[in-house]
Structure 1
Amino acid sequence: MMQLLISMAFALAVATSAAAQTANPPSPSSTPTTSAAQPPAEVRQMLELMQTPQVKEWMATQMKAAPTATLTEAGEMSALSELVGHARRHVEMVSGAAMEFPGEVETASEVVEREVAPTGWLLITTEVIALFLTGAIVELLFRLIVPKPRIRRTEDEVVTVAHHAAANLLYRVVPAIVFAMATLVPLLAFNWPPITRSMAIAIAVALIVARFTVALGRLLVALVTLPRADGERQISRARGLFWFRRCATFAIYFAFGWAVIQLMVPLGFSEGARYFVGYILGIGLFAIAVEAIWHRPVEEGEHRSFTVSWGLTLYFAFLWLLWVSGFNLLLWLGIYVVLLPRALSVATLAVRSLHQAEAGFLAGRRIATVLLDRGVRALIITAAAFWLGRMIGLAADRMAAGETMLDRLARGAIGGIVILLAADLLWHLARAYINGKLDDSRIEGAITDEEKASRARLQTLLPIFRNILAVVIAVIAVLMVLSGLGVEIGPLIAGAGVVGVAVGFGAQTIVKDVISGMFYLWDDAFRVGEYIESGSHKGVVEAFSLRSVRLRHHRGPLTTVPFGELGAVRNLNRDWTIDKITLNVTYDTDLVKAKKVIKQIGQQLLDNPDYSPHIIETLKMKGVEQFGEFAIVIRLAMTTKPGEQFVIRRNALAMIRNAFKENGIEFAVPTVQVSSEGHESEAHAAAARHLSQRSNSDEPAA
């Protein structure tokens, strides 16, 4: 746009001279121009403005820069050459400021002399010393007045604040708050001169940041090295203290370096000089990082990798060169690659330590743990995104009201990050709540039948609801992100509907399975843990998905059956079940005596504490079923809870066998008497019929 204005201005200047020559007649005798040849009033006004000295000077300045701009507009300068040109101009600015730095120091000294002269060096020095020492002195008095708390006392051990998270938080943070408030007192109490006030504010901010860095760092070390319930630590205390000291040194050095740069602004230092001092101080940051890399602690039995050490050293050197070259975006992206994953892992580790610690206030609180964990992660990522936007020159007001492509993309990207983080937090909270309900509603812990049925229903429906909720949250979050980026989601939703219809026609079987499953669950046909039979499929229901059910056969195989193939379902675990037993006794058996014996066995089953809770109606003899060819067939029956009849039946049969033997009751077995050839075939036929009657179908194991 600027180059276009320059070209237009140049063309207007040429037109001005031509118009001037045309407007001046060659001789007095020449005829005047007609009204059609005269330019409009607006054009004459513009031409007059072009002749003013200010406009001519501006045009001359812009014309000097026009060749380079013209090359850029014409595409003769590639993106790489633009980056190189940017770096060259930035380095030239900093190097030029370095040459002029001594003169700027002298100018700043004169400014300070004029500032301090009315008040005096002694008073200003005293106020600065008070600013440095007031916070430390007040905090020391606070620690003397408020002793270190003791949580509880055992026979041989005093558990102090380091073993309790809540008290540890108060003990670390409250003194830092006292330090900060005391540091602000001299800043507000003294009558600082204007430039000195700016210096005092920068120093106070650096002191408060340094103090909170130490407090929060020690709190973080105490958390990540907190013993778990089993006494083990996730990170050794020596390793935690090593990284705390290096990170605290880095942060404090950075805070006071920032204060130095801020002090240079009211003293009149140029932008290049401030960059120059910042880059010199950056060497100290680089040295701290390199020292931490080469002296980092390793686990016992491991060796420090020199390849990793050299790689990280070169990487940090490359980041410093990016900083010096003025590539702030690439610099912060490189910093985030190293710093952001570490910050997230340390935050997660601290929350996990609080959750697993025996005395931690998050122990046993799933929702609070997830809220703190994902909330801290969301805050870290959101702060990093906004800071990156500021580093590339996107202020909050500009991002909110800007209409350029870059502003819209930045606004949409940062809004998308916030939406995804909120969706992630919502999903993890919902999942933690559902998983907690699943853990608390295990069928094994049920006492009554109603409670067991309710827990079985929860075990069936909650996993399906969890999967549906995940899909819904993901779809809504993606649509909101796309809308924030400027994508019209209305056509997407309409297109998704059309595609859904097409997919529905092409995947009718899947749709049938999903809908059938919804109706099975609506009818409460079966639950997790129940034994069902459907056609050739049978087994214990282990789990569900949206389209199928998994059945574990009593012999071990696992079968996944689509809901559309189930058809009629026979549930063997609902309410109660009747188990019938058929016995063959000899014709000379005393049936009254046999009935009494079986009644006694039924009473013994009721008296057994292992069986009585599962027996609804005990074992009884129903009577004679039929007269067989070689035996009297009697029928026994009992009513039990579903799934318990098999164990009770096996033990009842064993008891019947022993009781019949003791009371002289004999079981009838087929006998073959061979008297002639004609009777031999009849005997074989009778034996075959008996064997076919005694053959039993497979029964599921208890």
Structure 2
Amino acid sequence: MGLVIGARGMMRLLTSIMFVLAVAGAGIAQTANPPSASPTAATASQPPAEVRQMLELMQTPQVKEWMAMQMKATPAAAQAEAGEMSALSELVDHARRHVEMVSDAAIELPGQVESASNIVERDVAPTGWILITTEVIALFLTGAVVELLFRLLVPKPRLRTSDDDVVTVSHHATANLLYRIVPAIVFAMATLVPLLAFSWPPITRSMAIAIAIALIVARFTGALGRLLVALVTLPSGDGERQISRARALFWFRRCALFVIYFAFGWAAIQLMLPLGFSEGARYFVAYILGIGLFAIAVEAVWHRPLDEGEHRSITVSWGLTFYFAVLWILWVSGFNLLLWLGIYAVLLPRALSVATLAVRSLHQAEAGFLAGRRIATALLDRGVRALIIAAAAFWFGRMIGLVADRMAAGQTMIDRLARGAIGGIVILLAADLLWHLARAYINGKLDDSRIEGALTDEERAGRARLQTLLPIFRNILAVVIAVIAVLMVLSGLGVEIGPLIAGAGVVGVAVGFGAQTIVKDVISGMFYLWDDAFRVGEYIESGSHKGVVEAFSLRSVRLRHHRGPLTTVPFGELGAVKNLNRDWTIDKITLNVTYDTDLVKVKKVIKQIGQQLLDNPEYSPHIIETLKMKGVEQFGDFAIVIRLAMMTKPGEQFVIRRNALAMIRTAFKENGIEFAVPTVQVSSEGHEAETRAVLARQLSQRPSSDEPAA
């Protein structure tokens, strides 16, 4: 304290010396330049006509306005440049002035306390101390009494499950939410009743408002804290808790004590404002109360619960203690920027983690109102995260002195950067929320449209199309949202995105020329999907490529051959695509019967076989038109060629065809219908030459060994 007083005396001494030197300098200047009293000298110093004309021009309004603008612009530019060059020195000067202000206030605090007591006496005197004390006691007790009556009239609900088991609200997320929040709302409303009902004196009313706010904050802190404890300790799907109840209760009690202590400390600082305490005195009291916050944080660090088998690290404990001490010193020194950066580094990740755990518990709990609701879960999860981060960003800007109207005006580079940074945070949070909502919706559609659960062919086809297009749309949407968000953030920071977009277009054209094949593949794939040429799970043929479509990417399709190999084919190489699994297929069968066969009988037998196929429960669901005889195809050299046909669902014709051929073989044998085969008759009764000629002719008509047989 002595050092501070000595410094103040030294500054006053220096100021006095500078004042004396300034007065002496003025006197010397007057002595060196005495005023002239001779009228002759005044007459001799009359300016020429040109000078008088120039002076007259300078008196015109236009010239005056222009000179005023120039005088304003030059100091502003010089001041901005000087401010940017001496930012660090300004911070140091600000910290020095802040410490001096608090030190002076500590010396003057007893006098301010006496003055405040006189103000309170004058404010309370017309009403009386007894009435004011009664009203303050009512303000403290009304909320608690009304909440107690509410709990007695509305007991803790107990829910009955389908197994006749009674479940309390601590195991039911929705009821637990209502049971924790509703009494806190009742408490808050009851606390406001004496604040509005009584006729408070002016200064006492301000004090009562601050106390009521602190009481309501403390009550909601307890309610929300116990709700979070109940949520994060709910058993997950495998029956295990995400956090042990003892650990959750430990951190809840410390955090609740910290917040309640902070709330009443804030109320105490607000009480000092109408009592006439100076700004330095309020800071001094706040710093003294901050020692209590420091003690709560240090106690939590040294007594924090450990997991089973974990050992307490003395280094970590001392490191966190030193960290909190540095934060308190930064607070006292007035370095708000570094202070809040340090606070956010500790609190923000923990707050986001707890919010995520709570939302996950609501989603996984069987009785939770978020169970099975993907979009609501994503909205609550990312929405809560967005609110926490946005509130932290705006509070950070407020604490370091970035007022909203100042940022909107954008006078300095720091204001513009701060405005762009906060706007960028909001844009990124909005983009993150939009992306997670879209992804949750698309993933839900993919899970609900699995091909295995389809009941009809139309439903299976629709689900296959969704399984094909939705993943690609999800990837494209992610890229679009990311690009738009980044461009908006850069624009908010003052970066000209027009040249950036133009440059990206030029680069895109150059890349397009250099990667024509890739561009061709991507564009071809878009049109294949647009035309719905094939879907996941369908068998296609294209040139030498064939197989079942397993998956897509932006430039290729993966085909699984029926023998097992997996082929990745770029879209640009597909060309014409033959889809073997679309709508229906017609299978044709050709039979050769002898010339003495009864064709009417053959038709009846084929009709009976077709009916048997329809009566078979294994084949009938896949048959669109059963096996029928279409008639005589042609007369061959040794047989009558007849044509059979049937219409089936794609991919099912092979099994039905095999069974139909087996049934035809059996039915023909039972009905005496013979298949025609080429025969050669050899006779030795004088026709040896003719026989050899016939054999030679038949051998010459057979295909060679290296040609495919007909």
Is TM-score (shorter-chain normalized) higher than 0.5? Answer: yes
The 1:688/1:507 distance shift into structure 2, 3 A limit, reads: closer
**What is the TM-score normalised by the length of structure 1?**
0.80
Identity within the alignment, %: 84
Deviations 1:444-470 (A, max 9, x none): 232332222222222222233223322
State how far apart, in whole Å, the 2-side matches of 1:329 and 1:551 are: 58
8 Å contact 1:228–1:358 — kept in the other structure? no
- Aligned to 1:559, the other structure's residue is in SS state strand
1:527 aligns with 2:539: no
Show the 5 A alignment for 1:303-702. Answer: 303-579=311-587, 603-619=611-627, 638-649=646-657, 693=709
State how far apart, in whole Å, the 1-side matches of 2:299 and 2:594 are: 96
- Aligned to 1:360, the other structure's residue is in SS state coil
Deviations 1:428-483 (A, max 9, x none): 22222222222222222323322222222222222332233223222222222222
423-432 or 99-108: bigger deviation: 99-108
Deviations 1:246-272 (A, max 9, x none): 211111111011111112222333333
State how far apart, in whole Å, the 2-side matches of 1:469 and 1:413 are: 25
101-110 or 192-201: bigger deviation: 101-110
What is the identity, as a one-letter code, of the residue corresponding to 1:527? Answer: R
The structural deviation recorded for 1:169 is: 2.4
The structural deviation recorded for 1:615 is: 2.3
Q: How many residues align?
A: 655
- Aligned to 2:156, the other structure's residue is in SS state coil
1:177 aligns with 2:185: yes
1:35 aligns with 2:43: no
Deviations 1:129-149 (A, max 9, x none): 111111101111122222333
1:24 aligns with 2:24: no
The structural deviation recorded for 1:622 is: 7.3
8 Å contact 1:457–1:528 — kept in the other structure? yes
State how far apart, in whole Å, the 1-side matches of 2:162 and 2:465 are: 46
State how far apart, in whole Å, the 1-side matches of 2:292 and 2:28 are: 61
Match of 2:278 in 1: 270
Match of 1:56 in 2: none
- Aligned to 2:471, the other structure's residue is in SS state helix
What is the identity, as a one-letter code, of the residue corresponding to 2:326? Answer: F
Match of 2:687 in 1: none
- Aligned to 1:551, the other structure's residue is in SS state strand
Match of 1:4 in 2: none
Show the 5 A alignment for 1:110-149. Answer: 110-149=118-157
Deviations 1:593-616 (A, max 9, x none): 998887666555433433321222
The structural deviation recorded for 1:75 is: 10
8 Å contact 1:670–1:690 — kept in the other structure? no
The structural deviation recorded for 1:388 is: 0.5
State how far apart, in whole Å, the 1-side matches of 2:334 and 2:309 are: 43
The structural deviation recorded for 1:114 is: 4.0
8 Å contact 1:670–1:687 — kept in the other structure? no
The structural deviation recorded for 1:412 is: 1.6
8 Å contact 1:626–1:632 — kept in the other structure? yes
- Aligned to 2:558, the other structure's residue is in SS state strand
State how far apart, in whole Å, the 2-side matches of 1:603 and 1:344 are: 68
The structural deviation recorded for 1:371 is: 1.8
1:220 aligns with 2:222: no
- Aligned to 2:586, the other structure's residue is in SS state strand
Deviations 1:617-660 (A, max 9, x none): 44567789999999999976543211223444566677778889
The 1:29/1:398 distance shift into structure 2, 3 A limit, reads: closer
- Aligned to 2:535, the other structure's residue is in SS state coil
8 Å contact 2:174–2:367 — kept in the other structure? no
State how far apart, in whole Å, the 1-side matches of 2:526 and 2:86 are: 63
**What is the TM-score normalised by the length of structure 2?**
0.79
The structural deviation recorded for 1:530 is: 1.0
560-569 or 219-228: bigger deviation: 219-228
What is the identity, as a one-letter code, of the residue corresponding to 1:515? Answer: I
Match of 1:189 in 2: 197
- Aligned to 2:368, the other structure's residue is in SS state coil
The 1:427/1:74 distance shift into structure 2, 3 A limit, reads: closer
What is the identity, as a one-letter code, of the residue corresponding to 2:98? Answer: H
State how far apart, in whole Å, the 2-side matches of 1:575 and 1:267 are: 86
2:299 to 291, 299, 303: 291
The structural deviation recorded for 1:662 is: 9.4
- Aligned to 2:534, the other structure's residue is in SS state coil
What is the identity, as a one-letter code, of the residue corresponding to 1:225? Answer: T
In structure 2, runs of 5+ residues without a counterpart are 1-20, 60-77, 680-691
- Aligned to 2:142, the other structure's residue is in SS state helix
8 Å contact 1:541–1:551 — kept in the other structure? yes
8 Å contact 2:703–2:709 — kept in the other structure? no
8 Å contact 1:446–1:452 — kept in the other structure? yes
Match of 1:151 in 2: 159
- Aligned to 1:284, the other structure's residue is in SS state helix
1:208 aligns with 2:213: no
258-267 or 155-164: bigger deviation: 155-164
550-559 or 389-398: bigger deviation: 550-559
The 1:250/1:228 distance shift into structure 2, 3 A limit, reads: same
28-37 or 236-245: bigger deviation: 28-37
State how far apart, in whole Å, the 1-side matches of 2:456 and 2:92 are: 78
1:90 aligns with 2:101: no
The structural deviation recorded for 1:155 is: 5.3
Q: How much is the aligned-residue C-alpha RMSD, in angstroms?
A: 4.4
What is the identity, as a one-letter code, of the residue corresponding to 2:510? Answer: A
Match of 2:267 in 1: 259
What is the identity, as a one-letter code, of the residue corresponding to 2:46? Answer: S
What is the identity, as a one-letter code, of the residue corresponding to 1:518? Answer: M
504-513 or 162-171: bigger deviation: 162-171
Deviations 1:462-521 (A, max 9, x none): 233223322322222222222222233333333333333333222222222222222222
The 1:26/1:312 distance shift into structure 2, 3 A limit, reads: same
647-656 or 499-508: bigger deviation: 647-656
- Aligned to 2:289, the other structure's residue is in SS state helix
State how far apart, in whole Å, the 1-side matches of 2:58 and 2:31 are: 13
State how far apart, in whole Å, the 1-side matches of 2:676 and 2:321 are: 92
8 Å contact 2:144–2:187 — kept in the other structure? yes
The 1:192/1:526 distance shift into structure 2, 3 A limit, reads: same
416-425 or 92-101: bigger deviation: 92-101
What is the identity, as a one-letter code, of the residue corresponding to 1:24? Answer: P
